[in-house]
Amino acid sequence: MNAGETAIIALADASKSYGAVRAVRDTSIAVRPGEVRALVGENGAGKSTIVRLLAGVTRPDTGAVLVDGEPADFHGPADARDAGIAVIYQEPTLFPDLSVAENVMMGRQPLAAGRRIDRGALHDQVQGLLDRLGVRLDADQPVRGLSIADQQIVEIAKALSFDARVLIMDEPTAALSGAEVERLFAVVRTLQEHGAAVLFISHRLDEIFAICDTVTVLRDGEVTHDGPTSELNTDELVRRMVGRQLSQLFPKQAAEIGETVLRVERPCCTSRPTPAQARARATCSTSTAASPPPTRAERGLGRVGRRCDVGAFRRTARKLAVERARKAPPRIA
């Protein structure tokens, strides 16, 4: 990525209001070939509005959308798609009863003699795209039953089939597991190596630092930072997003410490105890204070039990919870 290179897609001093809400104000953002750019901001900062402007879903009130440095007048998403802009949303929008290949080439299936779909060519084209992305997905398998992560890969393959030059991903990782995020990142890097640009939106800041070269920070619809990700650390990024220091985000509140609600003594936290631990487990004991009401203590016990995931400790915890419930004064309806 070269900072001097003409952006594939850009917004120049664009504003967009919804009634009295000024979602985006005099905003400029540019996505260049081979760049993975982050777009970050708090909820309601205007990220998705920018996505809608770049994807031709909506038009700016003032300012312009530029494609390859020239003003573009998108009348709908099809215009943006023809300009090489594709959007991958958090929830894929595929036809579950059709195959991966049919979804990717929907409406553009290769035809054989007699205008029948050429299944062999369809498979080969789409399998080629999936292989290019470096993913193990069968073009002929039905979409129903694929994970959200796999469905997103199908959406990316679909974007490539349209020769997309910029992929805009609006919170693609929100519903993915750690391993799935890693695989998506591998696909993003492959796209980048092939010269495509990515605009990546996420609330998970560690992902921004892991995958993005540059970052645009939004606050209340305005850009507060635009530059290489390496120039910022997490605290500075958050400060630009929210307008104050990270330490002030969750200021320490004065709180009155009450009576003991729960006390756990010598908990046993291994699933396969050594003989010494087994002996210790036999003497595990727990105790709680008599008040405040038991439900809170029980909830706390439940959490501890889940986190430790240990049979003996959980059994102890359950026993305690039952005991507390029994001791609890009858509730008045």
Ligand X SMILES: Nc1ncnc2c1ncn2[C@@H]1O[C@H](COP(=O)(O)OP(=O)(O)OP(=O)(O)O)[C@@H](O)[C@H]1O
> Strand runs (DSSP E) across 3-131, as ranges?
9-18, 21-31, 36-41, 62-67, 70-72, 85-88
| Residues contributing to the site for ligand X (CB under 6 A) | 18, 21, 23, 41, 43-49
Residues of span 51-70 touching Mg ion by CB under 5 A? none
Sign of the CA dihedral 311, 316, 319, 325?
negative
Smallest distance from Mg ion to CB 51, Å = 7
Smallest distance from ligand X to CB 130, Å = 29
Q: Which distant-in-sequence residues (6+ apart) come within 8 Å of 29 by Cβ?
A: 10, 11, 37, 39, 50, 216, 223, 226
Binding-site partner at residue 60 among Mg ion, ligand X, none, CB < 5 to 8 Å by type:
none
CA distances from residue 132 to 61, 165, 186, 192 in whole angstroms, order as listed: 39, 15, 12, 12
Cis-peptide, bond into residue 292, ω within 30° of zero = yes
Choose between 23 and 36: whose C-beta lies nearer to ligand X. 23
Choose between 171 and 180: whose C-beta lies nearer to ligand X. 171
Binding-site partner at residue 37 among Mg ion, ligand X, none, CB < 5 to 8 Å by type:
none
Choose between 21 and 322: whose C-beta lies nearer to ligand X. 21
Q: Does 17 bind Mg ion (CB under 5 A)?
A: no
Binding-site partner at residue 158 among ligand X, Mg ion, none, CB < 5 to 8 Å by type:
none
| Rounded Cα gap, residues 202 and 39, in angstroms | 7
Choose between 9 and 217: whose C-beta lies nearer to ligand X. 217
CA distances from residue 205 to 40, 43, 104, 122, 199 in whole angstroms, order as listed: 9, 14, 31, 39, 15
Choose between 43 and 274: whose C-beta lies nearer to ligand X. 43
Binding-site partner at residue 267 among Mg ion, ligand X, none, CB < 5 to 8 Å by type:
none
Instruction: Name the residue whose CB lies closest to Mg ion.
Output: 48
Q: Does 48 bind Mg ion (CB under 5 A)?
A: yes
Distance of CA 75 to the CA centre of its chain: 29
Residues that bind Mg ion (CB under 5 A): 47-48
